[in-house]
Structure 1
Amino acid sequence: MKNKTVIITGASTGIGKETAKLFIAKGCNVVMNAANQDNLLNTYKELGAPSNAVYLVGDISKQETGKQLVALAIEKFGTVDVLINNAGIFAPKPFLEVEENDLELYWNVNLKGTYFTSQAAIPYMVAQQSGSIINIGTVLVDHAIAGFPATAPLMSKGAIHTLTRQLAAEFGKDNIKVNTIAPGIIRSPLQGKIGIEDADSLAGLHLLNRIGEASDIAEAAYYTAFSNFVTGETINVAGGHTVGHAI
């Protein structure tokens, strides 16, 4: 799939970084985005400052950022073939402690970021009668854990799962595929941010009795991006997390 143009939000760390690395290595043109300028620049350099990649610093919760990402993709590479809405935030907080600003934060970054960036990309995909959008959700939408209360972020992720199905229905006639990848516990900087010092201690949540790697999600994203007959699906990449538990 060389020369296909892929926009990846949240591309400076974790899943986004590994996904950018894979798509770049496969010869795709990649537009990388993150809100943290230092992290994004460091990642771009770490990946070798490849000629088939550019980057744009911007807050994905701002509608203008999505428009700028699409404009940059068109300017540099001429098309927008794949959009991976990876940027997001997530942290546990008991339901009775959630405040209005918590809901607004997750709504803005997770849902609005996905919504408006998709809204910016789809007209170009309609014009070329092809495209793929991949949203990043979570298995916790369908598999709640009592000891991990996270109603605020899960509401926004659940909305993303729903948005995926509706967009798949609305734009299927235009040959635009829209899917969600729902990761299980993945080894990434997110674990440390939410206070999990040993991510491997959560291995038992998965039937494979291990946590996932960012590369597992990147590989699933690559398959989904270029699959011709998969749309409207939520693809659990979670080692059996939603099926049962290893004990």
Structure 2
Amino acid sequence: MLIDKFRADGKIVLVTGGTRGIGLAIARALSEAGATVIISSRKESGAVDVLSKGGASVEFRAADMMDSDAPRALIDGIAADHGRLDILVNNAGIADSRPMEDFEDDSYERLMSTNLASVFRACRAVLPHMKSQGGGVILNMGSISAIVSNIPQPQAAYNASKAAVHQLTKSLASDHAKDNIRVNAIAPGYVNTEMTAGGLEDPVMAPIWRQMTPMERAGEVDEIATAALFFCTDASSYCTGSVLVADGGYTTR
């Protein structure tokens, strides 16, 4: 049956930034689809208990993705313990909205290290494993900020980091299709998470965001997780190098 294409039975999955928000929702979706899911973050935050209540096969591994050695250590450890790593979801990320002239070098380095360098390093670390096992799936978390300049908040550095993730996704997809490795990305719009809570409650920004979104609401994490489930399973077996925009129509205006 076609619905079976959305199953992930027996797959070993890593979701970075998987203890809250979109990452936690993706981890839940993949565990419900039958995968063994490893979530990583700096702190566990009770996420394993939340996911395990539904009978999920889930484990937590601490990792600070700003540490240049962390992605390889994390991925090599999972591959050694589980024998393979089928799906990598690069979800860890941070936001920082300030005018360019107020952006110090250390803040820039922190943002780029988390949003771009950690994705690059994780992809670099997982590719040999996926090649040796005959294939795999990489899903990167992009943003509508890679496509349009969000207003009214100034966030040139954040926008640049996410645009780079989109292009990295396309380049890796082209380079590794021959290895049976699919690489795709999701570009969410404004979604109800801890990261966006300040903006969604802001008396200046929130009305502008709603006005510029044809559906006139923020997305929910499960609405991104279902897109991730599509990309991480055989339901998207002919998709690579794709960026799926899930933004309530924001980028149409």
- Are 1:241 and 2:250 counterparts? yes
Displacement of 1:229 after TM fit? 0.7
Per-residue deviation, 1:73: 2.5
Q: 1:185 aligns with which of 167, 172, 190?
A: 190
Amino acid at match of 1:173: K
Residue identity (%): 29
Deviation string for 1:205-237 (max 9, x for gaps)? Answer: 322222100101111011011221101111101
The amino acid across from 1:231 in the alignment is: T
3-state DSSP of counterpart to 1:181: strand
- Cα RMSD of the aligned pairs, angstroms, is 1.8
CA distance in 2, matches of 1:173, 1:128: 13
2:105 aligned to which of 96, 100, 104: 100
Output the CA distance in 2 between the equivalents of 1:203 and 1:218: 22
Does the aligned pair in 2 maintain the 1:7–1:69 contact within 8 Å? no
SS state at 2:245 partner: strand
Q: Which one of the candidate residues 51, 56, 67 is aligned to 1:47? A: 51
Size of the alignment, in residue pairs?
A: 240
1:51–1:18 Cα change, 3 Å? closer
Paired residues for 1:29-68 under 5 Å? 29-35=36-42, 37=43, 40-48=44-52, 52-68=57-73
TM-score, normalization by structure 2 = 0.89
Deviates more, 1:70-79 or 1:107-116: 70-79
TM (norm. structure 1) is 0.91
Q: Out of 18, 23, 39, which is 2:25 matched to?
A: 18
CA drift at 1:200: 6.5
Deviations 1:100-128 (A, max 9, x none): 11211111111111011111111111112
Residue identity in the other structure for 1:233:
S
Q: Deviations over 1:67-90 (max 9, x none)?
A: 232233224432211100000001
- Please tell me whether the aligned partners of residues 66 and 113 of structure 2 are also in contact (alpha carbons under 8 angstroms): yes
Distance 1:200 1:25, change over 3 A: farther
Q: Which runs of 5+ in 2 are unaligned?
A: 1-7
- Residue segments in structure 1 that go unaligned for 5+ positions in a row: none
Q: Is the 8 A contact 1:8 1:20 kept in 2?
A: yes
Is the CA contact 1:6–1:80 (under 8 Å) kept in the aligned structure 2?
A: yes
